[in-house]
Structure 1
Amino acid sequence: MRTKTTVRSDGKPNLIVTTSAIRAGTEQETTVYEIQSKQSGPTAFVIGGMHGNEESGYWAARDIREWEIDAGTLVVLPEANAQAVEQERRKWPKGMDLNRQFPIGKPPKNALAQGIWDVIGQHNPDVVMDLHSSKGILERENDEGVGQNVFRSSHEKIIRSNQTAIELLNDEYVTGYDPIYDFVHTFADETEYATAPMLMNKTRLDRNIPSCLFEVTQDGVESEKRARWTKAFVSSMLDTWGIRALRMNE
């Protein structure tokens, strides 16, 4: 993995912001942001842009990389597949779905996936959040989509934190919508995606990291609102882990 690293304070005396590059110098180059508080605490890893046609995830992650925190470390990879984001495509290069390149118990399938996996190993996060969107709604009968749902690991803390976050979303954000739009959370092992070679599965099974994959629906919800709901979810999750976001950009 080729990397380049810079460190800056951004005029924020209580934070150190470090940027590094995955696949530096290649067409797949993408930037990782590490926001470190001088107050000790846990490490959270937030990922957007696995799929370039799910803009609310990387829009949210771009804002999250600018957040100030009161403790711990927040690592943000806003555009995991920067080429797919640029092309606004789910699969890029043609036919390559980045979130199917992480087989359980085996090395990642390509250099970009390996670079992401190496960064996760470097930071050894306490929690991983992967931000997505879906065309449909998981709870709607005969719907092929999986939106308004959080796929999660079985760790007790992430069960509690997911429940707190979706209660916040349903009570304060998903208002004026049909009840079918209420968020739920599901244990990944009880779904058809249990062994899929997805990053969230690899982090929870190969590294035993509390992990979740957030899916907001694209059905009838504009991109800006989806991004706002996504950021609210991440903020609530961070708060549960003891990392409070300060000066959030709504």
Structure 2
Amino acid sequence: MVRDNQAEKSDNSRFETGSSRRSFLLKSGAALAATTVGFAGTGAASGEHSSYTIRTGTEEETDVYVTESGEPGPTAVVVGGIHGDEESGYRAADDVATWSVDRGTLVVIPRANPVAIERGTSSNDNGDLNRKFTPGKEPRTALARAIWSAIDRHNPKTVLNLHSSKGLYRESDGPDGDGQAIYPTLSEGADVDTTMTAKYMNEHHLDDSFPEYYEFKRGNLVDGDQPLLIHKVFADMYIPGYIVKTTRYGTDLDTRVNWTLNMVRHLLRRNGMDRTYE
């Protein structure tokens, strides 16, 4: 289940060097070697962009983009396009894949579910991809295993998963849904990151033309008991993870993409990584 937890924590951004949070892993042993899931590509030199593919030679083939800043720092992973009918998520991730950062390594899987994206559907032939990441066990499909292995190989400090919803979180207006919210893992500080990012969005990126019920919120805490990607991130890695959701209700694509990009930028900053403009 997901649980609300209003406990206050320090409002300091967290930045770690040396030993990783992964010393606290509840490792499942499910991550596969890169060769098992069809990695292809070349590594990046410091300060450069590179990419490689997963599920190479299949209809699920998709790219992973890696930006090495050349400076010590955290590794962050951003995943978009798990649901092919949530266009703002993968459009925003396409943009994030081109970013430069001031420190650490930025890894982006913009179009995690290419079959669903091509079809404009939430699922592919194997069902809902975001229901295939069982905590503590090997992911249930070849694509899910490839995505998890790509995340695992980079030893991230944080993972962001970009989505949208047809409705609004905890609002009676509009259709049922859970957009305009960020859902943090129970990892230390993630809830504060989310609260501060929502506050930042409401103060600086929510146009006055939108009613108050469009304000961004901190969603329920992700505690690792569902077979979703960010649940597995918490349960198996015990690092900060975030589900980022805008709403499709009464909004256009450009607005949703812009909101998503600003949330990503702010969450990365709070995890020790700033976007640079070179």
- Per-residue Cα deviation, 1:96-115 (whole angstroms, up to 9, x for no partner): 11100111221111100000
1:108 is aligned, of 136, 139, 142, to: 139
Paired with 1:91 and 1:155, the residues of 2 have a C-alpha distance of 29
For 2:228, the equivalent position in structure 1 comes to 198
Paired with 1:106 and 1:39, the residues of 2 have a C-alpha distance of 34
For 2:268, the equivalent position in structure 1 comes to 238
Q: CA deviation at 1:146?
A: 0.4
How many residues align? The count is 240
For 1:4, the equivalent position in structure 2 comes to 40
What is the TM-score of this pair, normalised by structure 1? 0.91
For 1:27, the equivalent position in structure 2 comes to 59
Q: CA deviation at 1:166?
A: 1.1
Paired with 2:79 and 2:109, the residues of 1 have a C-alpha distance of 5
For 1:64, the equivalent position in structure 2 comes to 96
2:73 is aligned, of 25, 38, 41, to: 41
Q: Name the SS for the 1:187 alignment partner.
A: coil
For 1:173, the equivalent position in structure 2 comes to 205
Matches within 5 A, 1:93-172: 93=125, 96-141=127-172, 143-172=175-204
For 1:218, the equivalent position in structure 2 comes to 248
Task: Provide the identity percentage.
Answer: 35
2:216 is aligned, of 172, 183, 188, to: 183
For 1:82, the equivalent position in structure 2 comes to 114
1:187 is aligned with what amino acid? N
Q: Name the SS for the 1:233 alignment partner.
A: helix
List alignment gaps of at least 5 residues for structure 2. 1-36
Q: CA deviation at 1:189?
A: 4.7
1:201 is aligned with what amino acid? H
- For the 8 Å contact 1:153–1:204, the answer to whether it is kept is yes
List alignment gaps of at least 5 residues for structure 1. none
Q: CA deviation at 1:8?
A: 5.8
Q: CA deviation at 1:44?
A: 0.5
- For the 8 Å contact 1:133–1:217, the answer to whether it is kept is yes
For 2:19, the equivalent position in structure 1 comes to none
Looking at secondary structure, tell me which structure has more strand per residue. 1
- For the 8 Å contact 2:92–2:260, the answer to whether it is kept is yes
Query: Relative contact order (alpha carbons < 8 A, sep ≥ 6): 1 or 2 greater?
Result: 2
1:178 is aligned with what amino acid? P
Q: CA deviation at 1:7?
A: 4.3
Q: Name the SS for the 2:42 alignment partner.
A: strand
- For the 8 Å contact 1:23–1:30, the answer to whether it is kept is yes
- For the 8 Å contact 2:44–2:67, the answer to whether it is kept is no
Paired with 2:69 and 2:168, the residues of 1 have a C-alpha distance of 37
CA RMSD of aligned residues (A): 1.7
- Per-residue Cα deviation, 1:151-190 (whole angstroms, up to 9, x for no partner): 1111232222212211111111112211111111123358
- For the 8 Å contact 1:56–1:132, the answer to whether it is kept is yes
